[in-house]
Amino acid sequence: MSQSQSFLNFVRSAAGITPDEEQQILRRFQTVSLKNKEYFLREGEVCKRIGYVEQGCLSYYRLLENGKKAIVQFAFEDWWIGDLESFLQRKPAQTFWQALEPCELVCIGRDDFERMMTISPVFRSVFTKKTQTAYIKALERSAWDKADSAEQKYLRLLKEYPQILKRVPHYDVAAYLGITPESLSRIRKKVAKAR
Amino acid sequence: MSQSQSFLNFVRSAAGITPDEEQQILRRFQTVSLKNKEYFLREGEVCKRIGYVEQGCLSYYRLLENGKKAIVQFAFEDWWIGDLESFLQRKPAQTFWQALEPCELVCIGRDDFERMMTISPVFRSVFTKKTQTAYIKALERSAWDKADSAEQKYLRLLKEYPQILKRVPHYDVAAYLGITPESLSRIRKKVAKAR
């Protein structure tokens, strides 16, 4: 086992976990390293594992029919990545997960995942809660995205992820906000002046 | 028991359900009627039940700090409604669920829900899968919303819910699309001309 302390803490913090269950879970997770720009998943591939980000930063995006790249979210340390639809239904993904920095992940494969969902109530509970939380957050973001101006979206992003401009390329931040890189430049200048 | 055939079909379609489990589930769901404009849930209330829509149409929205109403989604027949965050965490909702027509729902309360999640693997599996699917759809919509123009969003909405313009007020459709009612009127005219 070579998982980081943060992953061990995450597993150990699960309510009601026994030492035996902890070992069962830990030995099913393997470390995976990604280079900068390397893909964890590409459109058309089946997502065979989900991963916990120990170190690094990734983007989750779709290439739409109109040719645009829509970034759904970024993931930093202590986040989970993977395409749930592809992973659970074993069908080709319509999304990409790409490293924006060198990354260290700990991953569990589909068969081990299914086994743990069957035998471990703690694992099942943690995964179910993570999915619920992610869903709730997605709905919340969706509401803001509909009603906020581009500048409001940018300010909210900065508040939520103060590190984003240091770690994510300008054009990816623009794709996340759903605006052009030029518009983002204008907003950044305006906000910088106002501070 | 006074549930509709569609709800019975939904329950009976669950993989591996036994007649005993079916009865356990059905007797925990109560019918609830809502008048047009009546609220199933208001901001500040704790969401004490989740419901299956047997008949009718509702909107799920937030009132944002900037005073705007952001409609996250609509629900029609065979959809589930409720605020998951408030329901599961027993905390005040930040959202509203409002009837846009007279509605018939079948609802399960928090204690019965928890009991079924504990004792019924079928119930647990159905609820978990529904949440996963809703999350996957929310991410998909989020990607489109970022990259589509208002007109593309409108055309996608029409394709996904052909009934929407007949059942949902014009200003609510605009709030869902994140545009003004005037912009929606312009788009509707343009699209009607082109057809």
Within 10 angstroms of residue A183's Cβ, the number of other Cβ atoms is 15
- Both structure tokens of B115: 């009991």
Q: Is B89 a residue whose pLDDT tops 80?
A: yes
Q: Is B2 a residue whose pLDDT tops 80?
A: no
The total number of structural domains in chain A stands at: 2
**Residues A99 and A152 both lie in one domain:** no
Mean pLDDT of the B76-102 span: 94
pLDDT for A125: 87
**Residues B84 and B157 both lie in one domain:** no
Q: Is A1 a residue whose pLDDT tops 60?
A: no
Instruction: Tell me the residue range of the domain where B192 lies.
Output: 148-195
pLDDT for A143: 84
Which ranges constitute the DSSP H helices of B98-120?
110-119
**Residues A113 and A192 both lie in one domain:** no
Q: Is A160 a residue whose pLDDT tops 80?
A: yes
With CB atoms and an 8 Å threshold, state whether A85 touches B146.
Answer: no
**Residues A181 and A194 both lie in one domain:** yes
**Residues A95 and A43 both lie in one domain:** yes
* C-beta separation of A146 from B71 below 8 A: yes
**Residues B38 and B19 both lie in one domain:** yes
Mean pLDDT of the A81-95 span: 94
CATH of the domain at B41: 2.60.120.10
For tokens 């149409």, what's the residue?
B57
**A176 part of contact set with chain B, CB < 8 Å:** yes
Buried b (16+ CB within 10 A) or exposed e, B177-193: bbbeeeebeebbeeeee
**Residues B10 and B80 both lie in one domain:** yes
pLDDT-based confidence at residue B11 (cuts at 50, 70, 90): confident
**Residues A26 and A91 both lie in one domain:** yes
Mean pLDDT of the B89-106 span: 96
With CB atoms and an 8 Å threshold, state whether B146 touches A88.
Answer: no
**Residues A164 and A153 both lie in one domain:** yes
**Residues A35 and A69 both lie in one domain:** yes
Question: Which residues of chain B are within 8 Å of residue A136 when distances are taken between CB atoms?
Answer: 84-85
Distance from CA of B55 to the nearest CA of A (A): 24
pLDDT for A67: 80
pLDDT-based confidence at residue A56 (cuts at 50, 70, 90): very high
pLDDT for A32: 96
**Residues A80 and A135 both lie in one domain:** yes
User: What is the C-alpha to C-alpha distance for residues A71 and B144, in angstroms, rounded to an integer?
Assistant: 10
Q: Is B1 a residue whose pLDDT tops 80?
A: no
Q: Is B33 a residue whose pLDDT tops 80?
A: yes
**Residues B75 and B121 both lie in one domain:** yes
Kindly state the helix (H) or strand (E) to which residue A55 belongs, with its residue range: strand A49-55
Mean pLDDT of the A66-88 span: 90
What is the ipTM score, two decimals?
0.83
User: What is the C-alpha to C-alpha distance for residues A192 and A186, in angstroms, rounded to an integer?
Assistant: 10
pLDDT for B83: 94
* C-beta separation of B53 from B79 below 8 A: yes
With CB atoms and an 8 Å threshold, state whether A72 touches B139.
Answer: yes
**B177 part of contact set with chain A, CB < 8 Å:** yes
Mean pLDDT of the B137-162 span: 87
Q: Is B37 a residue whose pLDDT tops 90?
A: yes
Q: Is B66 a residue whose pLDDT tops 60?
A: yes
Question: Which residues of chain B are within 8 Å of residue A146 when distances are taken between CB atoms?
Answer: 70-72, 145, 175-178
- Both structure tokens of A127: 């995964």
